[in-house]
């Protein structure tokens, strides 16, 4: 009876193993290949690939361990399984921590942005320091160090226990040995501690809006791990047979996490394609329609609030400062604003460095640039940022603020019609674009978003 049960268990694990290998690794490869697509590009793809690859290895090793049970000693089985699981969970912790750091950095940048183009040297230095530190913390190197460090701690605890007190666990497979349960608890408590941090960090971000869905996804990952540990504990306590119910439960929940983190973004993904610039509204203003929308106070604030949710507020803030510079009539003030734009957005390690091409940034990092200040000197920056915002954010913004956008376009269309029928100049001027969105009878649903997490001090 026991032999037949074990044989059935092995067959089931072979099927699970084949299914996981067939769908997980091609999906991970495609996820990495599409890391520049929406929404994957905003969901910390490097963190997610690392964590989910380790989680897939864990789920597959659980099946391999059942199929080839006698090939692994008790210590080898538990050490390998928990190292993979702990590495995966710590990868998700690093992703949640990175999101926390990103919003704190955005908060610091908003403090700087609220000063307009006027610079406070002390504030600038503080934000620059925080940006440099946070850029390293959310980078791939810091994530790898964090994950490897936690794995090393767990491995040291496991090896100390086994080699120092129970070397027999390396000699044979004996899951009935009481020492095997202690080794199991070491791995379980360490991974539970790591999983708890996902929940804690998600709670820390509870009042932060996230347009890309990263925070919501990590909250669901934390909930799945919590449910997995609870289910595993209940089934382990209730199980009276030799079937490893908790292992099967872990495999099931690992696949739920995989579907949440990888499969759903793949199904939602769409390439970032070049889209035509929004057409000019009328003959009196040949600027793109999107630019005219940003020049309206409510339009700018609504789009800025959306950019904060997508961690790209520096682009719209830079565009606004360039607009203010272009309209500056006083030469001395224009010189100061030009210097501020370079220091805030274009210089190396700038506190709000914008995502422009390296060739363009090199041009604006030339020390001789500010010796000849002209009103059109940042036109390339402005045009590039408008194109970037249109490609990267505009479609999602318009979908979320359709009433606001439609009211704006309807008003400028009315201005076009009045122009076409030869309306009086004053009347035409009043209809080429609203001075305020309030004239459209539309209320902006999203006032400027403030990130509420306390800014970290250097």
Summarised one tens digit per residue, pLDDT across range 174-223 is: 888 899 999 999 999 999 999 999 888 888 877 666 667 788 888 899 88
| Section 100-104 average pLDDT | 82
- What integer pLDDT is reported at residue 417 of this predicted model? 58
**Residue 393's pLDDT is what?**
83
The answer on 315 and 186 residing in a single domain is no
Give the model's confidence band at 151: pLDDT under 50 very low, under 70 low, under 90 confident, else very high: very high
Mean pLDDT lowest among 240-249, 341-350, 380-389: 240-249
**Of residues 147 and 408, more confidently modeled:** 147
The domain spanning residue 20 has which CATH number?
1.20.1070
Share above pLDDT 90 across residues of the chain, in percent, rounded to a whole number: 39
Q: Give yes or no: residues 145 and 69 share one domain.
A: yes
Residues 144 and 50 in one domain: yes
Whether 318 is in a domain gets the answer yes
pLDDT at 343: 87
Residues 297 and 261 in one domain: no
Whether the Cβ atoms of residue 458 and residue 130 lie closer than 8 Å to each other: yes
> Coil, strand or helix: which one is 288?
strand
Distance separating alpha carbons of residues 60 and 250, to the nearest angstrom: 11
Instruction: Please tell me whether residues 23 and 154 are part of one structural domain.
Output: yes
Residues 255 and 358 in one domain: no
Which of 43, 21, 13 lies closest to 268 in space, CA to CA?
Answer: 43
For residue 169, is pLDDT > 60? yes
> How high is the pLDDT of residue 93?
95
Claim to verify: residue 264 and residue 292 sit in the same structural domain: no
pLDDT at position 240, please?
A: 46
* Cα distance from N-terminal residue to C-terminal residue, the chain: 65
If asked whether residues 109 and 216 sit together in one domain, one would say: yes
We report the CATH number of the domain holding residue 308 as 1.10.167.10
Residue 3: which domain range?
Answer: 1-268
| pLDDT (average), residues 401-425 | 72
When pLDDT is cut at 50, 70 and 90, the band that residue 139 belongs to is: confident
Range 143-156 average pLDDT: 96
pLDDT at residue 370 above 70? yes
Residue 84 has pLDDT above 90, yes or no: yes
pLDDT of the residue at 448: 43
Average pLDDT, the chain: 81
Per-residue pLDDT, averaged over 366-376, amounts to: 88
Torsion (CA) 404, 407, 411, 414 in degrees, nearest 10: 150
Mean of pLDDT values over 12-31:
94
Who has greater pLDDT, 276 or 388? 388
3-class DSSP assignment, residue 280:
strand
> Are 260 and 291 in a shared domain?
no
Domain count, the chain: 2
- Helices vs. strands in the chain: H and E counts, helices first: 18, 2
| 295 and 396 together in one domain | yes
Return the minimum-mean-pLDDT range out of 107-111, 246-250, 329-333, 396-400: 246-250
Residues 175 and 135 reside in one and the same domain: yes
Tokens of 291: 């630019």
pTM of the model: 0.75
Assess if residue 445 is contained within a domain. no
Of 303, 304, 323, 328, the C-alpha closest to 379 is 323
Residue 294 clears pLDDT 70, i.e. is over it: yes
SS3 112: helix
- Residue 147 sits in the same domain as residue 249: yes
pLDDT digits (tens, 9 = 90+) for 433-454: 444 544 444 444 444 444 433 3
């Amino acid at each position: 009876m026991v032999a037949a049960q074990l044989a059935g268990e092995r067959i089931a694990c072979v099927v699970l193993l084949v299914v996981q290998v067939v769908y997980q690794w091609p999906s991970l490869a495609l996820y990495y290949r599409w890391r520049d697509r929406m929404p994957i590009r905003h969901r910390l793809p490097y963190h997610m690939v690392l964590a989910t690859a380790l989680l897939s290895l864990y789920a597959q090793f659980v099946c391999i361990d059942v199929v080839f049970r006698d090939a692994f000693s008790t210590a080898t089985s538990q050490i390998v399984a928990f190292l993979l699981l702990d590495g995966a969970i710590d990868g998700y912790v690093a992703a949640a921590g990175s999101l926390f750091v990103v919003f704190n950095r955005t908060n610091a940048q908003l403090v700087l942005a609220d000063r307009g183009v006027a610079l406070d040297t002390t504030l600038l230095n503080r934000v620059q320091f925080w940006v440099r530190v946070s850029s390293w913390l959310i980078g791939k190197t810091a994530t790898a160090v964090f994950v490897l460090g936690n794995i090393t701690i767990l491995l040291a605890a496991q090896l100390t226990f086994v080699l120092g007190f129970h070397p027999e666990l390396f000699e044979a497979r004996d899951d009935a040995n009481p020492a095997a349960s202690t080794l199991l608890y070491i791995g379980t408590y360490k991974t539970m501690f790591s999983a708890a941090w996902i929940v804690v960090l998600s709670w820390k971000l509870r009042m932060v809006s996230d347009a890309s869905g990263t925070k919501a996804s990590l909250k669901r990952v934390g909930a799945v791990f919590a449910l997995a540990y609870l289910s595993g504990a209940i089934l382990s306590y209730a199980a009276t047979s030799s079937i490893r119910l908790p292992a099967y439960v872990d495999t099931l929940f690992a696949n739920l996490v995989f579907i949440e983190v990888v499969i759903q973004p793949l199904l939602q993904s769409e390439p970032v394609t070049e889209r035509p610039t929004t057409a000019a509204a009328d003959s009196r203003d040949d600027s793109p329609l999107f630019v005219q929308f940003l020049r309206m106070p409510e339009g700018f604030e609504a789009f800025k609030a959306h950019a904060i949710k997508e961690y790209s507020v520096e682009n719209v803030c830079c565009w606004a400062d360039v607009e203010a510079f272009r309209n500056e009539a006083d030469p001395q003030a224009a010189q100061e604003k030009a210097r501020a734009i370079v220091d805030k957005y274009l210089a190396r390690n700038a506190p709000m460095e914008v995502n422009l091409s390296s060739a363009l940034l090199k041009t604006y990092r030339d020390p001789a640039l500010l010796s000849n200040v002209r009103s059109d000197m940042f036109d390339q920056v402005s045009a590039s940022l408008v194109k970037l915002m249109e490609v990267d954010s505009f479609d999602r913004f318009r979908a979320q603020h359709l009433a606001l956008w439609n009211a704006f376009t309807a008003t400028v269309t009315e201005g076009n019609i009045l122009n076409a029928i030869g309306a009086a100049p004053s009347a035409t001027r009043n209809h080429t674009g609203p001075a305020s969105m309030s004239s459209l009878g539309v209320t902006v649903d999203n006032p400027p978003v403030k990130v509420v997490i306390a800014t970290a001090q250097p």
